[in-house]
Every structure is written in structure tokens, then in C-alpha cells.
Structure 1
């Protein structure tokens, strides 16, 4: 069943989105150089226009228009918000960052309402493109693949919104999406929204290739669609479906890279990694929208890279000491999570280190991404941002088996132990019951996936999201804060037809 829903919010953002969408095409994106195809009507009536429109839809992975959102490093980025609202991180800049950490949200707090406004137009644009491209005379196989990519992207964007705001208004009907005067409709049920997301993922996975490499790296593949679907099933606690989906992903030829730190380096460009399933492809020389600025946000201002790269360092993001101290000191993943960091060299060329803990900093340095050796830009990096990777799938599979079976089996142990082995850690003790095994998974997902954008969803799934903030002393961590508020304007402009999430006013 289609969810043919329209909100007043779309009226203010949709027209602008149509006008600027094609301007996002650039040489670093999906192997396409920018080319003008005339006005919008011409664009969606030609094969070139269809390809351009699909590439434009991918800009949502990087936030839509700048480095602040998407899976990038900025204020509105899913990975940043997942870190700053959970046990992963704090920010030294204070002010509104403290609101994030204490879950002090209101419908007027743009930091948590912004993505509602940003992503709904992508869903509208996809609905129109899907309808119009069916009448374009072009290679049938390419059309089928691009159709599947759009469905996977729509599912991904809708799912991000669903996880953040609960069931909300999305558009699958092109006529409604294109009508600026369409009337607002009440929000759908969770079941309706989940059904549409599931349908899009399943239909996409039937068509898409197992993976993309080269100039097509960064597009949604079968493995990526199935990974998104697995996350949906886990969110809905449909454990048997999650196990089935994870088992399919395991059969697609992905594997862990030998070294953890190599996952987050320029060595993984163009799909070289056997582990990365979906990534935002970055550049050090293009626009800010497609650049990796993580190090600029996370490195202390006195950081000096031993390689000699003059890295920009703003000193903001930290991993909380209480979380850092959960790591086994021998965990190899601490190589990119620093208690001590370089601040220069002495006269003999020996590296001088600063201790972040004893110097009073809020937490460890979450370096995560390697410096870009091209030195093209000390602030911008071409290291790609992983969205989905195989280590995540293994840990999701272990958790899902544990839940579906009422406890872990050999396959669940093997999945988590593969991840631990790469980190140089011993296998988990056998004989754990369901609750004990889940506790190990909860910690392992922190150790493996910190700063990758999934911790908020994890804690919500475990009913620990608001509890974490309350345990840290927050007085604004009410249980309803597991969902962000909708923007006040979205509710007001609908004349109350679109209802605010409970607890907000």
C-alpha cells in the first residue's frame, strides 16, 4: 500500500530543491561530470537527465547541500548526533552541544529538527523521478538498476527519519509530490511506514548488483539494501527476519579487513575494501559537501601530526572517559582513539605526547579517520565515510540470533569473535545466557562502531537511550526524548493535522 501523504512543510522546501538539485553534480560524484540538461522537464525526459537525477538523489547521503549533515562530520550529521546524544561522545564547545548530550530538546531546537526539513524533499524528488523515468527510452537494464537505486535511497532516507522522529509523512505518489497545493494528511501508523520502507528495500535488493566498485562506488548495492533492511527489522524487533537477512548478506562475499585502522583511510577509495558496504565518497579538493572534516572537529588544537601534515584542529569532539575506560587496554582499536596524542617533536626528533586525561580534557581524542596523505587541504580529507560495513552486519547478526533463539549459538559467537579477533582480543567466554551475551554485544558495538552513526539507534533498541542521559545527571532526559520533536512550523502550518510527537509542546 502506498503512503500518499503530503505536508505543508514540503511547499516551502520542495520548489527550492527542484531548482538547485542538479547543481550538486560534480566530478567526484559517482563518476559523473557536471553537465546542464536544460530545465527540469527536459532533465527527466532524457536518459542523461535520468542518470543526473539519480545522482542528485544521492546527495542526501552527504547531507543535501553541505558538510553539516548526512553522514558527514557537522552539526546536523547523523553520525555526530548519534555520538553526542549517547555514551560515545561529548563536545568541548558546550552551549547547544550540552543540550544534545542532556537531551534538552524542544520543537524550536533546530539541531534536532533540521533533518526533518532536509530529507523530506529528497523523498518527494525520488517519487517524481521514479514516475517520469518510466517513460524515458533508455537501456532497460540501466533503467531497472537506477529504479532500484532510487527505491533503496528512498527507503534509507525514510528509515533515518522514522528512527529519528517516528512515523511521518512521506510521499510515494508523484502527482502529490509535484503538487504545491496538496493538502496535509495525518501521520501514518508505524506499521504503514515500516511496510513501505521494507517494500522499497526488498524490491531494490532483487535487482541491484552485490557491490559497486570504481566510478560507481558509493551507490546502493544489494548488500547495502539488505543491510538497511536488517537495521529496520532489528528496530522493529523482528528478530527472525533480521537473522534471515543477515545470513543473506554473509553470502555476498564481504569480509573484515585485516587492520581496523585501514578501514578509515584513503586506501579504501573506489571500493577497494572488502568490508565497506556503503560509503559517502569524499574528496579533499571539491566542495565542502563531499569532504571529510572529521579530524578538524576532533583533534585538539595543539595536535601535531608526526607525518608533518599541517592538520586543521578545532578541538571539539571527545569520547567520554567513562566509555573509553571500558576498552581493554590491549584493544587494537585504541590506535585511533587516543588518550595521549602528539604535540610536536623534541630536538632529537622524538615525538612529544600530551595526555588528554591529565591535562583536563573531557575525553579521549576520537581520531578514527587517518590523515589524507595528499596534503591537498589541511582541513578537508578524501577519506570516505562508511555508512554500512561488514563488521556492523556481524554484530547485528550475533545480536539477532541471541534474541531470536533466546540465547547465543555457535554462529552468534563466531560472528562477534571475528570482530574481536581483529581487535587482538580473546574470544568471548562460552556459556553466556541471553542477557549476558547481549551485554557483551552492547559493549562490542561501542568498541567497534563508535562515531559511525548507529549508537543512538542501538541504545533506543535496548531501551537505554534516555536512561544513559538520566544516569549522567540530566534532568531533561524524559522517556519521550527517544524521539526527536518535529519542527514547530511543520505542525503549525498544517493547522494541527500533523501531530507533534508526545511530550513536546
Structure 2
């Protein structure tokens, strides 16, 4: 595993440290105020450090923002109400659709996304000046164009049209943006970047062991397919998704998430984490998602106390009840409670990332972003949108996922009503259901609800069920989801400083 994550270890170094040469003494280093493209971007090694720095942004956002805005806003997860500790209400407000433009978590998400985009732009602005092989140069371009597209895809889905920053800010006069681009303009840039990435990146199988986990041609085409599906361009999506080759399903669902199976044959793109003494590259999902009152029962780590940083991304009753009897994925994905000295405590929690800890408070678990199972389900959806074919290829793909889950096949004409799928609309429902379960806690559910046009109805109904459980715990206006509420508010700081128009609420 050390080799598999070697490149991400380098990404933890600051740009200052990356720029320093071991052949020079401390006094010979240029002052920090003078570090620039002129005295850094000189060698292929410098470029590789810049690309690694672009990857490193994923780690921080993957540890929090991605699941907060991609999963906890959906009907899959909520939070464990912590009455004694009320210092994390900003998180709760995101879940309840009450987050205002002053919510600091929105500002963090925006800032971190643009910091990541800046790192990608920095590489693109300097790559041509560095002498290196065309193959290595093209790979670097492909990697950062994929990453830039990924960040803009998240931004446009959460905020709508956003400023397009495609080069490095070199002076204070460059700081103001040109304003919010339209959503279509942002999508056009994303598509351009992903096509460039697909053309420049190698296949995942061609990476040496020390570089496993870098994005590949398959990563770019898979994300491009999802982008087209979000735009409801299903024929274009199918073309891109058909190009995602060289992958297969893992034999069992549980094996996908093992730390010994990082970057496996099903992994199209995952965020790399690595825990070892002296580094800060670890993940901690197990601790964040454990009930805050579970002690060490859930984590197995008696030296790490749980508090207000735990009890998040809690599986909902809606999700738990959506599993079919006998679904092998349920026990892998979630626990319905834990048992301590007092007996069974019915507080659900995410188990998918409970793979033990390397040292107290630190785990070695990667976070999946795109799996081949996701690609298979997207292809099936595109095929169905092109026209329903009873028991055709789309059914084959769907049922491959169900076979691994230990579930009976869904077919057209099945004598069992729950397994009978006899129309295009019924197949849509089958795909949406399978994505909800197969990809639970992998940050797909909210985006699926929005792109399929079901978010308002699903979230309003879900919200009412949540409120009925404990009405006093929910502020007025909770879960009153409208079309405007599907987009987050632009952070007020950006509205003020960059003169950006606000999303209506």
C-alpha cells in the first residue's frame, strides 16, 4: 500500500518545501516573497510536484465537504442530534435546507474548490516551458484538466453558473473575476477539459505500481459520461461511457473497500489516503460517521474520544428500509445500531469505511469517487433512455450488480410483481433504486436526485418523515425544498468582494 500511495505522500509537502533544493543551504534559498513561476517551474520534477499538489486538494475536501454536500443533503443520510454539543449547527442547516449565504461551510467549499482549480491552472500555465518528453507532458496536462473539470462539475451542480478561472492570478488586478459564467458555459469548459484529458491520459493498466490511483483515460470518459447525463444528453453519454474499458466488478461487495484492495479492478477514480508515522495524509471517515455516544464500540479505537466531530452522515430510516431482504450490501454498508454495556443502542452509522485504524485517530481508507459498477448502471440508464428493450443489455448490466448483491434478477414479464420491469418508466425506477443502494455513502445520491428531477418530491416527503420523529429538534422551515433550494447560496463574501449576483431563495 505504501507504493500505491507514494505519489500522494509527495502532495502533502507545501509548495515552499517542494521548491527547495536539497543541494542548497537554507541561506541560499530565495525568500518566500520571491517564489514564483520564474524560479520554480524549471524541471520535470518541478512539474510532477505541481501535479501532486493539485491532487492533494482532493484529500481535504473528500474528508468533509464532498459527503456533506453530496450525500447528507439527500434522503440517504442525516445527522445524530447532539443536544449537549450545539457547536456544529452549520452542518445541520445544510441537511435541513436552511444554509444561508453566511454559512461558513459554503465559504469553505467555494474557497477550497477554487484553490484546487488554481493549482491546476498553475500547472497548465507553466507546462509548455519545461523540457520533458511529450508523453510525460501530455499526461500532466490530462491529469490536471481532469481535476479542474471535476471541481467545476461539483461547483456548477451545487451553485449553478460560477466564475470561470482558467489561468493563474498573477497580480491584484487579476483578482476580480469576470463574473458568473452561465451554467452552459461552465459545462462547455468541463466537457472541453475532459475530452482533452481523455486524449492525453494513459489507460489505468499502464501505470506502474507506485502511480496507481492517478486518474486515467477511463476516469476522464466516465466523468464525461456523467456530465452528459446531467445535461440529459444520453446518446453522447453512452459514447463516452462505452470507452471506459479494462475494468470489472470485484467478486464481492465487501472487498471493494478493503485497505488491501485500494485502486482495484473496479476502481475508476478514488481519493487517496495514506497513514503512517510522520505524515498527515490519513482519512478519518470511521470516526466522523460513528455515533458520538458509541465510545470505542464502533471504531475499536479506545484511545480516540468521540465528540461533536462524530455522529454525521447517519443512515436514514428511508435508506435502511429501501434494502431488499437478503441484500448482501446492507451489512457491509451500514449498522443499524451498536451494543454497549447498557445494551443495544439504535443509532445507525456508516460501516462501509470501517476498515480499522493504523494509529489512533487515523485510518488508511480511500474514498471511492467512480466505480465500474457506477459506470455499468449509467450505461444501463442511457440505453433505457434511448428506448426500452425488454430483457436487453440494460437488464443484463442491472442484474450483474444485483447478482453480486445476492438478489434475484429483475426481468420483463417476471411473475413476481416486485421483480417485473415491463416499461421504460419502470426500468428508470429500477435503476434509481439500484444506484441508491449500490452507491450509498459515495456522494452520488444528491446529484442523482437533482439530475433525475426527483429531488423536490423525494426530499420534501423525506423531510416530513424526519420531522415527525422529533419535531422539537428541527427549526422552522426545515425541508421546505423548492426549485431555488436545489442550488446553494453563493457565499456572501464572494457576493460582496467579487460583485457576484446571488442565487434566489
Q: What interval of TM-score do these two structures reach, taking the shorter chain for normalisation?
A: 0.7 to 0.9
Report SS of the residue matched to 2:407.
coil
Alignment pair present for 1:119 and 2:101: no
Check the 8 A contact 1:401/1:408 in 2, yes or no. Answer: no
**Residue of structure 2 in register with 1:485 after alignment:** 489
Could you tell me how far apart the structure 1 residues matched to 2:339 and 2:364 are? 24
Check the 8 A contact 1:230/1:242 in 2, yes or no. Answer: yes
Residues 361-416 of structure 1, C-alpha deviations (whole Å, 9 max, x = no match): 3xx221112323xx531321112111111111111111122122256661111111
Alignment pair present for 1:316 and 2:311: yes
**Residue of structure 2 in register with 1:290 after alignment:** 281
Report SS of the residue matched to 1:278.
strand
Alignment pair present for 1:390 and 2:378: no
Could you tell me how far apart the structure 2 residues matched to 1:307 and 1:463 are? 37
RMSD across aligned C-alpha pairs, in angstroms? 2.5
**Residue of structure 2 in register with 1:414 after alignment:** 396
Check the 8 A contact 1:152/1:204 in 2, yes or no. Answer: yes
**Residue of structure 1 in register with 2:53 after alignment:** 56
Residues 313-334 of structure 1, C-alpha deviations (whole Å, 9 max, x = no match): 5550321112201101310011
Alignment pair present for 1:179 and 2:171: yes
Change (3 A) 1:332 1:371: same
Unaligned runs of 5+ in 1: 1-26, 64-69, 345-351
**Residue of structure 2 in register with 1:194 after alignment:** 187
Change (3 A) 1:106 1:224: same
> Which of 279, 282, 290 lines up with 1:299 in the alignment?
290
Query: What's the CA shift for 1:275?
Result: 0.3
Check the 8 A contact 2:303/2:360 in 1, yes or no. Answer: yes
Report SS of the residue matched to 1:36.
helix
Matches within 5 A, 1:75-474: 77-93=65-81, 95-174=89-168, 177-182=169-174, 183-211=176-204, 212=207, 214-249=209-244, 252-269=245-262, 271=263, 273-285=264-276, 290-300=281-291, 301-302=293-294, 310=302, 312=304, 313-314=306-307, 315-317=310-312, 318-340=314-336, 343=339, 355-357=344-346, 361=347, 364-372=348-356, 375-405=357-387, 410-430=392-412, 431-471=421-461, 472-473=463-464, 474=478
- Give the structure-1-normalised TM-score: 0.82
Residues 111-155 of structure 1, C-alpha deviations (whole Å, 9 max, x = no match): 234211211132233223212120111222211111111111111
Change (3 A) 1:466 1:105: farther
Query: What's the CA shift for 1:335?
Result: 1.7
Residues 144-198 of structure 1, C-alpha deviations (whole Å, 9 max, x = no match): 1111111111111111111111121122244xx3232124323222222111110
- Give the structure-2-normalised TM-score: 0.82
Could you tell me how far apart the structure 1 residues matched to 2:343 and 2:281 are? 32
Could you tell me how far apart the structure 2 residues matched to 1:308 and 1:181 are? 53
Query: What's the CA shift for 1:356?
Result: 4.3
